[in-house]
Amino acid sequence: MVLSIKNGYIAEQKFILAAMENNLVVSKPITNAERYDFVIDGGNGLKSIQVKKSFPDGKGRNVVCLRSRYPRSTLRHTLSRYVDYLAVVCEEEGCFYIIPTSVLAGIASNVCVKRNGKYESFRDNWDI
C-alpha cells in the first residue's frame, strides 16, 4: 500500500511539472477528500483532473485501474460528472494521455492505453 501511495504522489508531481510546462495553471485541493486531484486553468475555464499512473501489462499496453481498494477511488471514476479529465501517466512511453471522462463513461474497471491505440488522439492533449 505504501508503494502505491508513493507512486501516486510521484505521478501527480510529474503531472504538475508537465502541465506548468504547457502553460497551464495548476491548483490542488487542500484536503485529499475531493473526487479529483487538481483543477486546471488553461484559459478555457476550470477543469477537474484525476491523475493515475499506468503499468505495463506485458502486451504492449499501459493499464490504469479505475477501481481500487480505496473507498473514494470507486466514486471518482464511475461518476464522470465530478471529474472532467483523466490524466494517465505513461512512464514507459514518456507521455500523458489526457482523456475526457465523457469518453470513458461506462468503463468501471480498467483503461488500456498504447501508442496508436483507441486513445491515441488524447496523447499529450494539453489543450484543455
Asked if residue 32 belongs to a domain, the reply is yes
Asked if residue 14 belongs to a domain, the reply is yes
Are 61 and 97 within 8 A, CB to CB? no
Question: Taking the model in full, what pTM does it have?
Answer: 0.83
Q: Total structural domains in the chain? A: 1
For residue 75, what pLDDT is reported?
A: 45
Residue 58: Cβ-neighbour burial (10 angstroms; 0-12, 13-18, 19+): exposed
User: What's 45's domain CATH number?
Assistant: 3.40.1350.10
Name which of 101, 60, 57 is nearest 83 in CA terms. Answer: 101
For residue 77, what pLDDT is reported?
A: 46
pLDDT in tens, the chain (128 residues): 566 678 888 899 999 999 999 999 999 999 877 888 999 998 889 999 999 888 888 887 788 877 655 555 554 445 466 889 999 998 877 889 999 988 887 776 787 787 788 888 999 999 88
Q: For residue 16, which phi and psi values (nearest 5 degrees)? A: -55, -50
Asked if residue 127 belongs to a domain, the reply is no
Structural domain span for residue 28: 2-122
Asked if residue 111 belongs to a domain, the reply is yes
